[in-house]
Structure 1
């Protein structure tokens, strides 16, 4: 830059690689969805749902890229957005019920549920427990019976550590069956994709995860879902899979899927995302994409979502306390 050269603010921002605040009508110029895990799990699924839906709707001028940021079921991504990238208008981060459970237990470090801007919930998923197609367990009772006889004989894999929602699901199941959850053999992986790979390789005997993560494996008959943790059976062909409740275990575990923004994203930028999600959630194309991924309707945006998230974190904290996992 030569001495005396003058630049307008927009041009200077372009030269520096940054864009100024967006108006409520302008789409982000560098859209990105952060999936806080390795490829193949529920966060990846959530980002890809948004990526495809935004492209189909024409809401973005440029394709949305997906960035994988594994670590602590969302902890690394949460800390990065709050501390290092708090004002990025084009960056949304996928979250799930597992993220909220970890927040309830203080696993995101010094940051709390109040430190990001919750923008949209786009679907719900359900917990499930599955085994290989050639496993000896034909139903949930058979698996629980084996755990009762010898808790160490069944190695359960999941995409998160002890205290996570995947652990909580089987811990609650074990508790109802009179099994001490501390005696379970539980192996934590970094994301649902890794736990499925471990099951396919026969390194674990069962996996606790989210139903949408194992849909690709059902059509090839590589896996058997012993139970889905929903109130009633799922619709359509998925209705062949029994619930835990009908097999005698009072266990439901819905899994919210949605997105948040950094804490310093402007109100105009926040409103662009909120309005875009409001339109998206009502579109037939989005609903078709959601259905293809075995996700189910759960639409909340803006302030109602913020209130829901904070209430859910409080409820999860109570559940975690019952297992000595939260103060």
Structure 2
């Protein structure tokens, strides 16, 4: 009887201590860092987290968004690792493009092992589009034209040589037997400029993300020849064939998620990971994600860490094949 009373008292104390630890882990100044100027994908990710964590009541205090542009994420990455490694208040947005840059050594001396990968909250997918009145009705026809005369088909995208939009085009070219050096490619500042150039007839095909062109699909001004997902996307995008089903085995997800500094405490990391898991399990989160033209992708903690490191390894293989690796990481 006495022993059971002691056990009960110890259990109650343990629960109280655990609850206190969790309460103490909640950030007193929650911040989401978008590694770019306002607008764009990083800002979208932070606003999704801001809305989702608030609506699911995971945060007692409002989360502010701060902007840290530079080097397509490099400035934010270096700042968190070198200057704010133990900051449990801050999460930093990243995308699949960030992982590609890491794989190429574009973040300086730091690599994929130098931060704590927290959560993936959504995904977009690569696509190839043409104008609605283009003679190309499918990806095979476009690739056949490139193979017949690479100089006559101009691709455009929001990114320079080595960007993920560029890599999407050269992966297709390679499977068609066309050397990437023969491809004609025009780099733009972003998806908006690319679409304008496509509609103006300055380029014949655009490489980008499906989420960027949904509004143009509604206006029936462009035709998406292929989406680079493992299977057809749901809803109004279900009629768009994948690259894979047209004979081009290319799947290119653009994940959106967050990381933290390498020295954040276990309690701080656990609080954020638990909060994202709970928020992403709600119907409200699915609605918020859909509003931002993102598709389901939900991973946190150790599973997410493994996913990120696997992706960087795969990107590094691709980058090496095209001579894009700048450092021996």
The alignment's TM-score, normalised by the length of structure 1, stands at 0.83
Q: 1:64 is matched with which residue?
A: 63
Between Structure 1 and Structure 2, how many residues are aligned?
Answer: 306
Secondary structure, counterpart of 1:234 in structure 2? coil
Secondary structure, counterpart of 1:306 in structure 2? helix
Q: Is the 8 A contact 1:98 1:255 kept in 2?
A: yes
Q: 1:106 is matched with which residue?
A: 105
Q: 2:76 is matched with which residue?
A: 77
The alignment's TM-score, normalised by the length of structure 2, stands at 0.83
Secondary structure, counterpart of 2:162 in structure 1? coil
CA drift at 1:202? 4.8
Q: 1:16 is matched with which residue?
A: none
Secondary structure, counterpart of 1:126 in structure 2? strand
Distance in structure 2 (CA, Å) of the matches to 1:151 and 1:246: 23
Q: Is the 8 A contact 1:39 1:193 kept in 2?
A: no
Distance in structure 1 (CA, Å) of the matches to 2:30 and 2:70: 22
CA drift at 1:316? 1.8
Q: Is the 8 A contact 2:58 2:279 kept in 1?
A: no
Q: 1:8 is matched with which residue?
A: none
Q: 2:33 is matched with which residue?
A: 34
Compute the RMSD of aligned alpha carbons.
2.5
Distance in structure 2 (CA, Å) of the matches to 1:76 and 1:163: 19
Distance in structure 1 (CA, Å) of the matches to 2:210 and 2:62: 28
Q: 1:241 is matched with which residue?
A: 240
Q: 1:24 is matched with which residue?
A: 22
Q: Residues 65 and 134 of structure 1: is their aligned pair in 2 closer, same or farther, counting only changes over 3 Å?
A: farther
List aligned pairs for 1:154-173, cutoff 5 A.
154-173=153-172
Q: Residues 285 and 220 of structure 1: is their aligned pair in 2 closer, same or farther, counting only changes over 3 Å?
A: same
List aligned pairs for 1:54-203, cutoff 5 A.
54-200=53-199, 202-203=201-202
Q: Which has the larger radius of gyration?
A: 2
Distance in structure 1 (CA, Å) of the matches to 2:82 and 2:202: 38
List aligned pairs for 1:284-295, cutoff 5 A.
284-295=283-294
CA drift at 1:210? 1.9
Distance in structure 2 (CA, Å) of the matches to 1:40 and 1:203: 26
Distance in structure 2 (CA, Å) of the matches to 1:194 and 1:268: 44
Q: Residues 223 and 81 of structure 1: is their aligned pair in 2 closer, same or farther, counting only changes over 3 Å?
A: farther
List aligned pairs for 1:3-18, cutoff 5 A.
none
Q: What are the superposed Cα offsets for residues 44-76 of structure 1, whole Å, 9 maximum, x if unpaired?
A: 332232222123223234443334444443223
List aligned pairs for 1:209-248, cutoff 5 A.
209-248=208-247
